[in-house]
Amino acid sequence: MSESSPSPRTAVVLLHDEEAGPGLLGPALRRAGFTLDVRSGAPNPEDTEADLVVVMGRALGLQEVLPSSLVEAQRQLLARRLESGRPSLGLGSGALVLAAAAGARVHPGEKGPVLGVHAVSLTTEGLSDPLFAGFEEFFDVLHWQGDSFEPLHGAVVLASTARYPHQIFRVGHSYGVQLHPEVDGGLLERWVQVAPQDVARVGLEPEAFLKRETPRLARVQQHAMLLMERLATFCARQVGAGGGERYLFTVEAIQRLAGRGVLLSPGIPRRTPIVRVGQTISLKRPDGSRVEATVRGMASFGETGAAIPLLVLLNAPDAEVPPGSEALTSEPLTV
């Protein structure tokens, strides 16, 4: 294989819940050049040397519902990887395991559990981190958490809330993400089905919770998927993976213009462009088929939202681009 085509790398994805799966993170890791080894239970000894280890989970209380032996085995694994400088990623309760591996004491949140889509704010360090290029200072994302941890020496906190101040942090070459950008509507429904007791802790019936949160979750999927893409790309760069596609956004609406031109909404983040004029993108339709296009520009028309619609020329003038199509590119992002 040529030097311009990096070899595939393996991402070991450790689940606390077999029903969960990696969610939106799975496709992002594959696009970034990883093959996935997804499993539940205790890690294997050879996972210390894996290209990437991801620990995921949705437990409101890390010690309440998970065997202490499992948590300790994962903590030891991530501690060894931190010592060797190998990248790891902790999502949800996996972020707590990463914090514990770095020396923090994990404890129940003093202000109780938080479930549902709520705002998170970027810290000064977060605003300057490439992970959040194009994000607003405040953005909404799904929360499902009940534990916190004390300030961690050597970690950089990137995003915070008043109740849980360490929502996203970086320690060494690893990231901890206590909130849940990996969750889509189907995964949220499965979580509620297998853990109705969690929803009851915030005073709601499962049906009422899903009725309230499902449309909210749909509205924040663009930023959630972009965050997953950035995390996967960061990890890929650490281990020399790459060559896959990059997620840009999910098309919600199109406007036909003259000739082959179409305007795709919501488009790209306003604050920092992540494509350039002349770049080729692929529009993957919900049925899996594709239409290719070339970026011609951005068109805000006075709008002040977080995203700018993208003007493209379709290679096939009469091709349909239905809502739900994903805009992807094989070219490196400009951030």
Q: Are 291 and 321 in contact (CB under 8 A)?
A: yes
Tell me, what CATH number does 269's domain have? 2.40.30.10
Q: Tell which of 239, 270, 305 closes a domain.
A: 239
Taken as a whole, the chain contains a residue count of 335
Cα angle vertex 218, ends 13, 272, to 5°? 80
Q: Are 146 and 108 in contact (CB under 8 A)?
A: yes
pLDDT tens digit string along 28-60? Answer: 998 888 999 999 888 999 999 999 999 998 877
Q: Tell which of 195, 210, 239 closes a domain.
A: 239
Confidence of residue 335 (pLDDT cuts 50, 70, 90): very low
> For residue 2, is it within any domain?
no
User: Number of folded domains in the chain?
Assistant: 2
Alpha helical stretches, state H, the chain: 25-31, 62-65, 68-84, 93-101, 124-127, 185-194, 196-200, 206-219, 221-239
Type of residue at 44:
N
> For residue 4, is it within any domain?
no
pLDDT tens digit string along 206-265? Answer: 999 999 999 999 988 888 988 998 899 888 888 877 666 788 888 989 999 877 889 998
Evaluate if residue 108 carries a pLDDT over 90: no
pLDDT for 19 equals 62
pLDDT for 305 equals 66
The answer on 301 and 194 residing in a single domain is no
Per the rule left: phi > 0, alpha: psi between -120 and 50, beta: everything else, 213 is: alpha
Q: Rg of the chain over CA atoms, in angstroms?
A: 20
Q: What percent of the chain lies above the pLDDT cut of 90?
A: 49
> For residue 294, is it within any domain?
yes
Single pTM value for the model: 0.82
Q: Which residues contact 219 (CB under 8 A, 6 or more apart)?
A: 117, 140
Q: Structure tokens of 266? A: 């919501």
Confidence of residue 73 (pLDDT cuts 50, 70, 90): very high
The answer on 282 and 324 residing in a single domain is yes
Q: Structure tokens of 155? A: 């970690």
Q: Are 247 and 226 in contact (CB under 8 A)?
A: yes
Q: Tell which of 239, 257, 285 closes a domain.
A: 239
Evaluate if residue 313 carries a pLDDT over 90: yes
